Structure 1
Amino acid sequence: MRNLFRYILLVLSLVLATGQGHAGSRINDSAALADLKVGQAVFLIDIADAKKMNFYLEVIQGTFKGMRDQGVTPDFVMVYIGPSVQYLSTSPSADVEARYGAVLMEMESNVEKLAALGVRQEVCAVATDAFGIDNKTLLPELDLVGDGFISLIGYQAQGYHLVPVF
């Protein structure tokens, strides 16, 4: 039942992002995007559940494409902190692998797709240390940073807008 609910949410998100929701009318974000040329966002990813995290990786791709389709150049950065880092290794723990094996493969694919879109993805070294992740095993599309909070502060100081994803 939970998977059906998540599927329905994903379909609705994609429908809204592509503007196919109402016959004869185009759903868009024109009021929010008025005169905007570049949309700078820094996504704080702090999710303990692998399935939920994978869902949001797909939604962020839709957000990127939706913004682009509305004439705004997306400039996105994702910063993974906390328990989310345990799903970003080529050698996850035995427990993580046993619980989320198939989801981990989907997540790896979504990380690759985000990178192909030009989304910068950073992983907090404080979190990898706290969760016992060997930094050498991080997915190759990811950039290791010293402290995710510092990264978030820096991007916001550069004009990026914080999008917390929990």
Structure 2
Amino acid sequence: MKKMIQVLIILLTTIFAQYGLSAEVLSNDKALTGNKEIKAYFDVNIGEPDKLFIRLKMIETTYSQFLASGISPHFIIGIRGKASNYFTKDNDYVLDVDIPVKKKIASMVNQFKAKGFRMEQCSLAAGMQEISVADFLPLVEVVSNGYASMIVYQSQGYAFVPMD
């Protein structure tokens, strides 16, 4: 896989050079050197559906980039605040106009779970949003206190990544 990415970069650089375009190759090689695995906790709490979806796509891209670099990522997504409304089974907690994005988010939850992500919904946030614990997607684990999870995961070496 790494070899294929290198070949693709060389190919694109050649094409850009041929047409007078510059292709600066960016990397995180210095930061990645010596790492075989990483652990990250993403604090997802944004209640704007389009921004929420973009943040989830960023998490997915980060995961893929780690894999492409030969690093085994272990990701936990902590869900709090108004983001909670988009991780429910039914559409009762979002506006009708937001349902298409909510469906995309549900699809991402399935993809994340298939990749081994852990997804935790804070029950305190659920209560603040007046969402019943039974209403969350089955692949999302509801925990009693998302703040407690956040603290414990950091003490276990997980990098804390705020997502708004």
TM-score class, shorter = 0.7 to 0.9
1:139 corresponds to which letter in structure 2? L
Kindly name which structure, 1 or 2, has the bigger radius of gyration based on alpha carbons: 2
Q: Tell me the C-alpha RMSD between the 2 structures.
A: 1.9
* SS of 2:13 mapped into structure 1: coil
- Please point out which of 134, 137, 140 is paired with 2:138: 140
Corresponding position of 2:47: 48
1:62 corresponds to which letter in structure 2? T
Assess if the C-alpha contact under 8 Å between 1:79 and 1:122 holds in 2: yes
Q: Does 1:23 pair with 2:23? A: no
Provide Cα deviations, 1:7-33, integer angstroms capped at 9, x if missing partner: xxxxxxxxxxxx859726753211111
1:50 corresponds to which letter in structure 2? P
Between Structure 1 and Structure 2, how many residues are aligned?
A: 147
Corresponding position of 2:96: 98
Q: Percent identity?
A: 27
Assess if the C-alpha contact under 8 Å between 2:44 and 2:163 holds in 1: yes
Stretches of structure 2 lacking an aligned partner (at least 5 in a row): 1-7, 15-23
| TM-score normalised according to structure 1 size | 0.83
Stretches of structure 1 lacking an aligned partner (at least 5 in a row): 1-18
Q: Does 1:87 pair with 2:119? A: no
* SS of 1:139 mapped into structure 2: coil
| TM-score normalised according to structure 2 size | 0.84
1:54-73 equivalences under 5 Å are 54-73=53-72
1:51 corresponds to which letter in structure 2? D
Q: Does 1:153 pair with 2:123? A: no
Provide Cα deviations, 1:56-107, integer angstroms capped at 9, x if missing partner: 111111110100110110011110011110111112326x141301111111
Corresponding position of 1:162: 160
Cα 1:113–1:63 shift into 2, 3 Å: same
Assess if the C-alpha contact under 8 Å between 1:41 and 1:75 holds in 2: yes
Counterparts of 1:146 and 1:137, CA distance in 2: 15
- Please point out which of 123, 126, 130 is paired with 1:125: 123
Cα 1:20–1:84 shift into 2, 3 Å: farther
